[in-house]
Amino acid sequence: MNQPPPRAPRSETREIVELKRLKSDQPELGSAVDMQLALVEMQRRVQSRVPLPWISADAAWLEAQQQAGRALVRFKDIPLDWTDFRLTFRQTADILRRFDALEPADHKTLVDLARDGNTLEPIVAQWYEATSGGGAARPDAPASLDQVLVLALRPFLSRCAEVLTQRTTIAPNANCPFCGWEPEFAVITQSGDRQLICGRCSGQWPFAALACP
């Protein structure tokens, strides 16, 4: 009986290639790089299942949000499948614990929270509103919740940033215009422009080359 041909290996993203190169160049960072690789691979699997969201907002509203320094992505816009999200939340906590980036007690609290959808869902909504310029109070939860939620929401929020990047002109802003989080990196493009990169949704937006965000 003829055997089916082997599947071609999935191409690696530039992020994975660069992380592996960093590990090769600086072996002392091996554990930290391995954690990032595990997170990127997990987020990549999840994001492949996340549909592009339908964000129903007119151009005037989008412009007004940017002028006021508020996030363009409302919580209701995020294409969250709660079964997928709870799994992503738990797997994120597991990866951080495996690499000792999460204390055992915090890990147990967060895994228990992931199992209780009735408790987790309002906490996520409240946390997002509080960290995207919505003005709500932060939920009473372990300090490690921020770290896990930032990473677990990324595959879903990245889809929103992808849609809005194609729909509207993004104005320079110190914080992310898409989700309101802080920039994590800056890059200089081939044309010499500076782009900030969000640490939560991976969105990119322009910023003055010599100014400090």
Q: What is the pLDDT of residues 12-29, one digit of tens each?
A: 788 888 888 988 899 998
Distances in whole angstroms, Cα of residue 173 to Cα of each of 42, 115, 165, 200? 30, 37, 14, 15
Query: Distance (Å, rounded) from C-alpha 4 to C-alpha 124?
Result: 44
Report d(CA 42, CA 165) in Å as an integer. Answer: 24
39-59 pLDDT, tens digit each: 999 999 999 999 999 988 888
For residues 110 and 93, the answer to whether their CB atoms sit within 8 Å is yes
pLDDT of residue 8: 42
The pLDDT tens digits of the residues spanning 191-204 come to: 888 999 999 999 99
For residue 195, the cross-strand partners are 187, 206
pLDDT at 75 over 70: yes
pLDDT exceeds 90 at position 157: yes
For residue 113, the one-letter residue type is L
Contacts of 158 (CB under 8 A, 6+ apart): 47, 201, 202, 203
**Helices of type H across the chain:** 14-25, 30-47, 59-67, 82-98, 104-115, 117-131, 144-167
pLDDT in tens, 106-147: 999 999 999 987 889 999 999 999 998 766 666 777 778 999
User: Band of the pLDDT at 2, cuts 50, 70, 90?
Assistant: low
Cα four-point dihedral sign 77, 79, 83, 87: negative
Instruction: Report, as an integer, the average pLDDT of 155-162.
Output: 96
Q: How confident is the model at residue 156 (pLDDT cuts 50, 70, 90)?
A: very high
